[in-house]
Amino acid sequence: MKRVLIATEKPFAPAAVNQMVGILEQAGYEVKRLEKYASKAELLDAVKDVNALIVRSDIVDRAVLDAAKELQVVVRAGSGFDNLDLVTCTEKGMVAMNTPGQNSNAVAELAIGMMIFMSRGQFKGVSGTELKGKTIGVYGCGNIGRRVARIAQGLGMKVIALDPCITKVSMEPYDVKVVQNVAELFSESDFLSLHIPANEKTKKSVNFDMMNKMPKGATIINTARKEVIDEDGLKKMLEERPDFKYISDIAPTNHDELAGKFDFRYYSTPKKQGAETSEANVNAGVAAAEQIVAFFESGDQAYRVNK
């Protein structure tokens, strides 16, 4: 009998867990759950005898993969898979997957909400600015970026876009101008919404020089990953450009230094909440469970992310 572990330091909504367990048990698998675990040791112990693992942002590094002697497949229920050690997965013959697109609407809605929050003075009763007629740069043209583009158009914004990882970007069917380079994207964006993955190419790529190209009064909205920001550059930007604003769903390492110092211009959610909706949890969790069943029953590897 196949054993599947759902290991989530940040648990899925109960409706999602119920459906995931139902799908896996229906397939005849045994389901183990490890939620809100306090130490890595608990995860290392729980993975020992499982054939499949479902996680969210939980770190699946070499230590976890070494401990998981029976593991054949790990699914990141979500989009970004920078928490999985893909090299070790490949080395051990394990399949790693994500569930692309399943939580994209939740993240896109949060990005738009954050943009409104910042343009209206963090709802503190001051005079703000409207979004209609302003330009939003969508940096990263995957499922989330495309959804942001569509909603922004509904708000009457001009949308421009660029993807650092895809050479031939298409934003069809939306009326979006795909710009030529990153300097053009930054210099034309009143609002810049980040939807790029954290990888060797993108880490610290949003740096002072790039941010400083942004127009007066510009705002960066980061619902992607903190690693893509050059945090010293962000601090310098906030210090040297009193018109610049930054909002994030993933607190930078220097959050304590920034919070409170730049009133109205800096904000970070206390805990990452982009994919924290019951709909997104159900979508991503169910997709993960179904992908595991498809993998074991018919060898399906459609969403594989390692070589």
Residues that bind ligand 3PG (CB under 6 A): 10, 56-57, 78-80, 103, 272, 274-275
Residue nearest to ligand 3PG (CB): 78
Q: Please state, in angstroms and as integers, the Cα–Cα distance from residue 238 to each residue in 152, 231, 249, following that order.
A: 25, 11, 17
Question: Cβ of 198: how many Cβ atoms within 10 Å?
Answer: 20
Q: How far is the CB of 102 from ligand 3PG (least distance, A)?
A: 8
Rounded to 10 deg, the angle between the 104-119 and 143-154 helix axes is 50
Given the complex with ligand 3PG, which of 106 and 115 has the nearer CB atom?
106
299: three-class secondary structure by DSSP: coil
Given the complex with ligand 3PG, which of 145 and 238 has the nearer CB atom?
145
Q: How far is the CB of 264 from ligand 3PG (least distance, A)?
A: 26
Given the complex with ligand 3PG, which of 157 and 251 has the nearer CB atom?
251
Can you say whether the dihedral through the CA atoms of 80, 85, 90, 93 is positive or negative?
Answer: negative
Q: How far is the CB of 124 from ligand 3PG (least distance, A)?
A: 28
Q: How far is the CB of 236 from ligand 3PG (least distance, A)?
A: 27
Q: How far is the CB of 129 from ligand 3PG (least distance, A)?
A: 28
Q: How far is the CB of 274 from ligand 3PG (least distance, A)?
A: 5
Q: Nearest Cα to 266, choosing from 240, 246, 238?
A: 246
Q: How far is the CB of 84 from ligand 3PG (least distance, A)?
A: 11
CA distance 190 to 300: 43
**Cβ proximity of 145 and 152 under 8 Å:** no
Q: How far is the CB of 130 from ligand 3PG (least distance, A)?
A: 29
Token code pair at residue 165: 């990882």
Given the complex with ligand 3PG, which of 81 and 295 has the nearer CB atom?
81
CA distance 118 to 201: 29
Given the complex with ligand 3PG, which of 145 and 190 has the nearer CB atom?
145
115: three-class secondary structure by DSSP: helix
Given the complex with ligand 3PG, which of 13 and 27 has the nearer CB atom?
13
CA distance 247 to 221: 5
Given the complex with ligand 3PG, which of 135 and 193 has the nearer CB atom?
193
Listing DSSP states for 264-275 in one string gives TTEEE-SS--TT
Q: Nearest Cα to 217, choosing from 128, 113, 110, 149?
A: 128
Given the complex with ligand 3PG, which of 80 and 145 has the nearer CB atom?
80
Q: Please state, in angstroms and as integers, the Cα–Cα distance from residue 207 to each residue in 178, 210, 211, 231, 271, following that order.
A: 21, 5, 6, 8, 24
